[in-house]
Amino acid sequence: MTSSITNALPSLGKARILINSPDDVVVVSAVRTPFTKGGLKDMLPEDLMKVVMQESIKRAGVKPELLGRPRSARLLREYELTMSDVQVGTVLPPGMGATVARMAQLSAGIPYTVPLQTLSRQCSSGLQAVVNVANSIKVGDYDIGMAVGVESMTANYGAATMPPAFSDDVMENPESADCLLPMGITSENVAKQYGIGRKEQDEFAAKSQQKAFAAQKAGLFKEETVPVKAHWTDPKTEEEKEIIVDSDDGIRDGVTAESLGKLKPAFAKDGCTHAGNASQVSDGAAAVILARRSTAQKLGLPILGKYVGSVVVGVPPKIMGIGPAAAIPKLLENYNLKVDDIDLFEINEAFASQAVMSIKHCGIPFEKVNPVGGAIAFGHPLGATGARQLATAFSEAKRNGQKTIVTSMCIGEYPT
């Protein structure tokens, strides 16, 4: 299944993308909340958004009172900052989506003169928000913008959130009907079609937990994470408390392939997908601020990295998890790159089946992928994960002197 992309292209592209230009789009801050299964269960999406919006502004050194000013030659001469957009990615938008996000923006101190949009590209919504802001900066719409990803799966996830019915005419198309397959079934489809066995999946999942636990124990997530002062109700006593949530609570010590091998399949009697080799249902948010390099330099903003480009590729809905296997080679081809040119890959672990398939298909060494674990360990708050991957990747690259990063996700969503 290894793609020929690994050795087919010259490495001239790497030198090209590492050249800096005043018109580059750069990341000036990237931060996330902890991802939790219970710690943030009583926090609403607008609460989570407010936290990361404020923290991303603080880390970038942005003055909120300047964010809403119109772009003008005078402001540029004075090197004052203008923010012309906030893009919020979310899959399960409560309260009409844009309304709740707008409320969070205003509460965070970003003035009403800064417009806001909510968007959904399913599980890649947070990453798509980053792409939208980057592309708008590239074409000259504005010089700086904020991308946010958020999801409260405690509040808004489940079959009850789905429409009561779908069009019979549309459902006559088999691929349309496949869009309603539970994600766990698509995982089983990928495993069967591409020969990804239970043992291989469990080994990958255990490794994700082991890497994440080691990183958490070493304090490696502190740089990318903002602690959250959370309202929390004790499920046993119903006592309401205010707690500080400062770490991901889905990461487990002592997980092995052998321990995962004892779990029963969740979606088919003869299947291989189960709670231990799939991403966790969780809550969280992340925010990324991007700017034109010349503006960032004039303002003295920190530069974490440069945005180069992105691609989106469609795949059959019944095997939606293979998205990274299709998108990564296309991205590398577009920029004349090889797998060897990339120092770090952040590939979402919706399921071990699709993650393993994608890594093997692209010919990526496993040690280059998710070096501090992935969604199997952290959890996967749907709209937030793409932005989280960037915060994690920049933090990891900084520690290890790495220069090139690829993030990728499969995109699909129907409650399982």
Which residues are catalytically annotated? Answer: 123, 380, 410
Q: At what angle do helices 323-334 and 352-362 cross, to 10 degrees?
A: 30
Rg (CA), the chain: 21
CA distance 353 to 189: 9
How is 308-352 classified by DSSP, letter by letter? ---------GGGGGGHHHHHHHHHHHHTT--GGG-SEEEE--SBH
Task: Please answer whether residues 306 and 288 qualify as being in contact, where contact means their C-beta atoms are separated by less than 8 angstroms.
Answer: no
Pull the structure tokens for residue 54. 């404020």
Task: Give residue for tokens 């925010």.
Answer: 287
SS3 assignment for 27-59: EEEEEECCCECCCCCCCCHHHHHHHHHHHHHHH
Residue 332: name the closest of 308, 349, 354 by CA.
Answer: 308
* C-alpha to C-alpha distances, 414 to 109, 150, 184, 185, nearest whole angstrom: 35, 17, 9, 10
